[in-house]
Amino acid sequence: MGRGTVCLSFDFDAYSIWINRRMVSPGYLSRGEFGATAVPRILRLLGDRGIPSTWFVPGHTVETFGGLCRQILDGGHEVALHGYVHEAVSSLSPEQERDVFQRSHEILTRLAGKPPRGNRTPSWDLTPHTIPILLELGLVYDSSLMSNDYAPFYARQGYEAPADGPFVWGEPTSLVELPVSWSLDDYPHFEYHNTGTSVLPGLRMADHVFTNFFDDVRYMVRDFVDGVCVITFHPQVIGRGHRLLGLERFLDRLGELEIEFERMDQVAEAFRRGRAYGSWAPGSRT
Ligand SMILES: [Zn+2]
């Protein structure tokens, strides 16, 4: 059995995350534009090491930076759904949510010449309609939920959460969930953001953050058989010099753990075929 798999994922939000917040001054937009500046650096880093990855790209980014998105595909990486203009779907009506997914799906299908297989909801925001919509679109997987860490699972639909009675689980679907975590996301650790009413301090030391990331993988390798760890980056965040050097050192250290890097569509397909990722087996390794 494998020692474990790491999925490096990059959310190429570019302008969309700021436009969605209606923060469209040149200053905010330039922060998104830096994401496009950084993409070639990241592709070079991954290409030099032969690491496949998955990129979640809003339809707006594909329409704005089509050449870069084609470079991502040309590098052997996967491009998957991430809204049209980084919508928080819980702020949309069911019809609007369906329209956003369909529009983005069409844009990504035109880009790649084939339909996308995966989705990550912007800001990991979902509604009770999200999973059914993804199933309607024929997607294989989603990567927006946090109820596990090293084991993919099948997303459920039809749950109920009454305030005066027990939780109703709903039914598992055929949609594979590749779980995520804010702690394994570069954005809250690094991005400084002052909204006027709240401050996200960010600006952490790169090696401190990557030590946390590394220990999550090390724990997986020690206590799980064939686990999967999904790590989330944003080009506009990770693309700064000290963070890219930190990422390089992190990848060097991961090499010592003998894990594999894999695209998320490949992991989801293998899970569907019955690969039992992420069995808890404490004490089996040191
Ligand atoms: Zn995003």
How confident is residue 32, by pLDDT bands cut at 50, 70 and 90?
very high
Rounded to the nearest angstrom, the distance between the alpha carbon of 232 and the centre of ligand 1 is: 10
Rounded to the nearest angstrom, the distance between the alpha carbon of 166 and the centre of ligand 1 is: 33
Interval 45-56 mean pLDDT: 98
Q: Can you give the pLDDT at residue 1? A: 56
Rounded to the nearest angstrom, the distance between the alpha carbon of 161 and the centre of ligand 1 is: 27
Cα gap 52→32, rounded to integer Å? 24
Rounded to the nearest angstrom, the distance between the alpha carbon of 57 and the centre of ligand 1 is: 8
Rounded to the nearest angstrom, the distance between the alpha carbon of 123 and the centre of ligand 1 is: 6
Rounded to the nearest angstrom, the distance between the alpha carbon of 248 and the centre of ligand 1 is: 23
Q: Sketch out the chain's domains with CATH numbers.
A: 5-279 (3.20.20.370)
> Beta 171-177 vs 141-142: how paired, if at all?
parallel
Q: Give tens-digit pLDDT for 252-277.
A: 999 999 999 999 999 999 999 999 99
Rounded to the nearest angstrom, the distance between the alpha carbon of 157 and the centre of ligand 1 is: 23
Interval 168-189 mean pLDDT: 97
Q: Can you give the pLDDT at residue 173? A: 98
Rounded to the nearest angstrom, the distance between the alpha carbon of 11 and the centre of ligand 1 is: 5
Q: Give tens-digit pLDDT for 96-113.
A: 999 999 999 999 999 999
Cα gap 45→7, rounded to integer Å? 15
Angle between helices 241-256 and 206-223 (to 10 degrees): 20
Tell me: pLDDT of 282 over 80.
Answer: yes
Rounded to the nearest angstrom, the distance between the alpha carbon of 124 and the centre of ligand 1 is: 8
Taking the CA atoms of residue 67, residue 72, residue 73 and residue 74 in that order, the dihedral angle to the nearest 10 degrees is: 80
Q: Can you give the pLDDT at residue 253? A: 97
Least Cα distance to 120 among 84, 74, 80 occurs for 80
Interval 17-36 mean pLDDT: 94
Q: Give tens-digit pLDDT for 124-152.
A: 999 999 999 999 999 999 999 999 999 99
Tell me: pLDDT of 87 over 70.
Answer: yes
Least Cα distance to 13 among 216, 244, 191 occurs for 191
Cα gap 173→17, rounded to integer Å? 30
Cα gap 128→157, rounded to integer Å? 7
- Contact of 167 with 189, CB cutoff 8 Å: no
- Helix H or strand E segment including 131: helix 130-136
Tell me: pLDDT of 95 over 90.
Answer: yes
pLDDT, mean over the chain: 96
Q: Can you give the pLDDT at residue 286? A: 61
Q: Can you give the pLDDT at residue 285? A: 73
Share of the chain above pLDDT 90, in %: 95
Amino acid at 51: I
Rounded to the nearest angstrom, the distance between the alpha carbon of 118 and the centre of ligand 1 is: 14
